[in-house]
Amino acid sequence: MPQGLTTVFTEPGKPFDLESLPTPDIEEGGILIKNTDAVICGSDLHVWRGDGDGPPLSQRRILGHEFTGVVHSLSKGIDTDSLRRPLKEGDRVAFPFFFPCHRCYHCIRGEHHSCTFRSRRNMVGLDKYPYCNGGMAEYFYLQPGHYAYKVPDELPSDAIPSVNCALA
C-alpha cells in the first residue's frame, strides 16, 4: 500500500501537521481513491476554531469531507461503479463521505444521506486509526459496500467536491 501525505489537525487554533502515513489495506470490495480536489467546508472551520456545536475536538484527526479523486486501486472483483458502469484505475469518481449502516430506518428506505448510524473509520482519530484516509489527505479509502460513481467527462473536477455536503 502507498504512503500518503496527510494534513493532521491536533487542536483548535493550531497549525496543521503534515505527516506521511500508510494507506489502509484494501479489503475485498474496497476501493482506494487518490484525492485530486477538495474544498474547505464551514464545519471544518468550526472544528479548527473550536466553536462548533459540540465540545472542541482535541484528538489528532484528518478534517475535510468535500473532495473528489481518481481510482488508485480496485480490489479484486470490483470492475464497475455503483451504477454498474465499467470502472478502472484512473477514472474520476464521486462518493459520499459517510458510510451508511444499510440497516437503520433511513437506509432501508434508501435515504442513506440521513443514516442514523453513519460513520467513517477515521472519525475515531489517528491514535486509533493511524492511516492516510480522509479529505485533507492524499488518499481516501472506500470500504466494502460503499458507493462510487464515475464522473461524466464534461464535468470539471473542481465542481465535484461539494456533492459530498453542500450540494447533497
Which CB sits closer to Zn ion, 26 or 47? 47
The minimum distance between CB 67 and Zn ion, in angstroms, equals 10
Query: 3-class DSSP state for residue 121?
Result: helix
DSSP 27: P
For residues 58 and 90, give the distance between their C-alpha atoms in angstroms, rounded to a whole number: 36
Radius of gyration for the alpha carbons in the chain, expressed in angstroms and rounded: 16
Cβ atoms 35, 138 nearer than 8 A: yes
Please give the C-alpha separations between residue 14 and each of 44, 121, 129, 135, in angstroms, as whole numbers.
Answer: 13, 24, 21, 19
Q: Which stretch binds Zn ion (CB under 5 A): 50-58, 93-101, 123-131, 144-152?
A: 93-101
- Using CB under 5 A as the binding rule, whether residue 40 contacts Zn ion is answered as no
Q: Which stretch binds Zn ion (CB under 5 A): 10-18, 25-33, 106-114, 140-148?
A: 106-114
Residue-wise DSSP of 66-80: EEEEEEEEE-TT--B
Q: Which stretch binds Zn ion (CB under 5 A): 12-20, 68-76, 87-95, 102-110?
A: 102-110
From the CB of residue 32, how many other CB atoms can be counted at a distance below 10 Å?
A: 24
Q: Which stretch binds Zn ion (CB under 5 A): 24-32, 50-58, 99-107, 123-131?
A: 99-107
Which CB sits closer to Zn ion, 1 or 101? 101
- Using CB under 5 A as the binding rule, whether residue 160 contacts Zn ion is answered as no
Give the total of residues touching Zn ion (CB under 5 A): 7
**Of residues 63, 94, 107, 136, which one binds Zn ion by CB under 5 A?**
107
User: By the criterion CB under 5 A, which residues form the site for Zn ion?
Assistant: 41, 100-101, 104, 107, 115, 165
